[in-house]
Chains A and B, each alone.
Chain A
Amino acid sequence: MNPSSALLQVEDLHVSYGPAEVVRGVSFAVGEGRALALIGESGSGKSTIARAVLRLLGSRRARVDGSITVRGREITGLREREFLPLRGRVLGFVPQDPGSSLNPVRSIGAQALEAAALVPGTRSRAQREALVVSALERVGLPEPQRIADSFPHQLSGGQLQRVLIALAILPGPRLLVADEPTSALDVTVQEQILDLLDELRRELGIGVLLITHDLAVAAARADEVVVLQDGSIQEAGPTDSVFTAPRSPYTRALQADVPGLNPDRFAGLRAERDERHPAAGADLQVDVRGISRTFRTREREVRALADVSFTIPRGRTHALVGESGSGKSTAARALLGLETMDAGTLDVGGVEVDPSDPRALRELRRHLQIVHQNPFTSLDPRFTVGRIVREPLDLYRVGDRAAREERAAWALEAVRLPERLRDRRPGALSGGQRQRVAIARALALQPDVLVLDEPTSALDVTVQAGILEVLATLQRDLGLTYLFISHDLGVVRQFADTLTVLRRGEVVESGSVEEVFAVPREEYTRALISSIPAREGVGASA
């Protein structure tokens, strides 16, 4: 590509927040009608680059060095007043979180008219209204007038993201900077939005700088890819070559950690487990029969669970899968006796769970522990790691003090947390480390059953791979029984033996992982499976 014809040309860009340099010497170019994907783990500097291009770093005390040219014009040295006309009219921006990117107290129409007013040559209100309506129609919103009259909270995430795209393309920009435009949206909606961006790019010849953490999105939607780590480029080039023949070790490692690309990652561990703890003749550790629960609030009634049943034999992993709000956590909480059921029974280790009997629950929880989804709120910020892990032992008065210390040390070692972290508080740990602490706490009592409620969905792929490995190893060594909750079928395929697919509280499908993946019976399951990133072609390296 000829750099001079590039829409956006970034050359040796450095950005630092105070003393910390977070972008180091990044260069790339986006041409007319082309899409360039910027990928990298969290904190690698993707959003910072986007903000530097749009000059939105103003209020953040950031220092920007290097050159950014838009249609051949250098913009880093421009005064604010000179840059203003470029915003919106040349450089459009599609933000990550549609829910928070529109002013909640003003109607869509008011904000759209404001955007229309910035388009040169639109004098009359009627003209602006026409512009707004046509832009809303262009992004596929069927009732533009109703949309315009609504407030943001009255629209769905997908609708809002469409509105935001409409507002971005309304002044006719040449380049769209889209910072993770779909990661806050549901799988099905994601595809539609990405299709829309593709369409706009082709039809209007707009260049797109697509920022994403999703390798599949990058692979499917971008012409070129730039892989960032820690603010510097690890690899860059046409999408095909980066994905089929990654040159840098980082990119290769990244690929290896993506569950969808490596379905058999834990196959070895699981085989060993099957040897040590044969499935045949294993008793049922968890037996859930026909549980139902309906939540009633003043506003509405939600059926969280409707006649759900599943069983887990000792030493095996059962996955609960489904979209957000499908009732997965409610089932998990029911198992722990944290939620009363309207109907049905739950047995753990052959004993029925009775939420109304505190002493029985206490006894139950010696053998049944949970690891929560969010490692940032599940640890008391005022306790040290050592104390967090020891707490259940103290409370259950397991052995003497020395024995408890020993047991805690064992648990920390089992999750491979270095000894030196024992005196830290959660605030001083990374997300992955915190989640390990949470698992260690659950392990400390040496329970038989662990409920894992999306234990890795808040974490990076690399970190996720590490945690899953720890869990698989523990299962192999101790014969633990897992109830594994996830919305990521890629992970489920790697990690679970059997699964139940939930939708609005109802069981859609259940069976062994192999069966369900091979022949999904329901459309819903098929949609979920198809959302696992690019298997065809790209994943061959696994």
Chain B
Amino acid sequence: MSTAVLTPGLRAGAQPRTAAGARPPATVLLSAAVILLVLAWSIAPGLFTGHDPAVGVPDDKFIAPGAQHWLGTDHLGRDLLTRIVHGSASSMTSALIAVAIGVAVGGALGLVGGYLGGWVDAVIGRVVDVLLAIPGFLLAVVVVTALGYDTRNAAIATGVSAVAVFARLMRSEVLRVRTSVFIEAARISGGSSTYVLLRHVLPNALRPVLSLAVLQFGIAILVIAGLAFLGYGDPPPASDWGLLVSDGREHLLHAPWLVLAPGLVIAVVVLSVSRLSRHLDQGRNR
């Protein structure tokens, strides 16, 4: 207890924000550009390449990257860049599906568990523990086995394996928000339980969940690529990025670009996504 005369305790947080509106760092802009490019690839692949992704010129097989084929050609003479561009839609949508499942199912579980508490929370908590205990990739493999091999199912499997992470984060966020004074204030202002949950708890808990969703989008690309690599994705001539690496792998010895190019595209996209996610996350803490 002190005789507060001039403010004790409060730190920099007391100052109104001044840095708001500053331009994001260059790496973030670059990441955003990469993601925009890939989105554009997914929406209108035809704009970016003049080649056919499925039918190549067989006599032009294994041409090394150069002026004519920027990323070279594959074993059937198809332009690799074209295949990557055309494969992005499938890679992106499947990652989106995975994240959507994770956010929707995991978010709902976390929200309900965190807000209601009690036995509901205990039951949900155990389910989440179980999902968490099974290594994610293994769980995805099991689920995709049960559903059948194709990219959509791989996406669903990836989503299922991400449910636990989202549920946990959502729950802890809800717990954090739920104990905030403004929640009590809303109750005192006459808000019902549902009103408080939907208008105050959910929106305030969502931000970190969304930034995790962005991060998870990148991870989903990797997991789905991994599944495709093991052969649990769409069959050829689909050109999912993981499949491209998996196919190109047979030619690693004499046409290494078939592995490196799609592999690096995956890496760059995921890196951009995670940079963006980190930026969003910082925005929250600022």
Report which A residues bind B (CB closer than 8 A).
Answer: 20, 39-43, 180, 182-187, 190, 213-216, 254, 258, 260, 323-324, 336, 338, 362, 365-366, 369-370, 372, 374, 376-382, 391-392, 395-396, 427-431, 438, 441, 457-461, 487-488, 490, 531-533
* A187 and B16 form a contact (CB under 8 A): no
Known: A42-B14, A428-B17. A533 touches B200 (CB 8 A): no
Known A395-B189, A490-B3, A532-B3; judge A428-B16 contact (CB<8 A). yes
Taking a contact as CB atoms under 8 Å apart, the answer to whether A430 and B16 are in contact is yes
Known A378-B181, A378-B182, A382-B204; judge A531-B188 contact (CB<8 A).
Answer: no
The smallest C-beta distance from B17 to any residue of chain A, in angstroms, reads 6
Are B181 and A372 in touch, CB under 8 angstroms? Answer: yes
Decide if A380 touches B5 in the complex (CB within 8 Å): no
* Residue positions of B touching A, CB distance < 8 A: 1-10, 12-18, 20, 180-182, 184-186, 188-191, 195, 200, 203-204
Cα A338 to Cα B187 with chains together (Å): 10
With A42-B7, A429-B16 given, is the CB distance from A187 to B2 under 8 Å?
A: yes
With a cutoff of 8 Å between Cβ atoms, the chain B residues found around residue A187 in the complex are 1-3
In the docked arrangement, what's the CA distance between A488 and B8, Å?
Answer: 13
Q: Decide yes or no: A215 and B5 within 8 Å by CB, A391-B186, A392-B190 being known contacts.
A: yes
- Which residues of chain B have C-beta atoms less than 8 A from A41's C-beta? 6-7
Closest 6 CB pairs of A and B: A213-B6, A392-B189, A395-B190, A42-B7, A378-B181, A183-B8
Smallest Cβ-Cβ distance to A218: which chain B residue = B5
- Complex contacts, A40 vs chain B, CB 8 Å: 6
Subset of 20 A-B contacts with CB under 8 Å: A42-B14, A182-B2, A213-B6, A213-B8, A214-B2, A214-B5, A215-B6, A258-B5, A362-B190, A369-B188, A376-B13, A379-B182, A380-B200, A391-B189, A391-B191, A428-B17, A430-B16, A458-B7, A460-B7, A488-B4
User: In the bound complex, what is the Cα–Cα distance between A99 and B191 (angstroms)?
Assistant: 38
- A461 cross-chain contacts in B, Cβ below 8 A: 4-7
Contact status of A260 and B204, CB under 8 A, knowing A43-B15, A392-B190, A441-B189? no
Inter-subunit contact A395/B200 (CB<8 Å): no
Given contacts A379-B182, A427-B17, A431-B14, contact A457 B189 (CB under 8 A): no
Task: Judge whether A459 and B3 touch: CB under 8 Å.
Answer: no
The complex places the Cα of A428 from the Cα of B181 at a distance, in Å, of: 18
Give the residue name and chain of the B residue nearest to A189 (CB): B1
Q: Assess whether B9 is in contact with A458, with CB atoms less than 8 Å apart.
A: yes
A392 cross-chain contacts in B, Cβ below 8 A: 189-190
Residues of B close to A374: CB separation below 8 A: 181
Contact residue among B3, B17, B186 (Cβ-Cβ distance under 8 Å from A380): B186
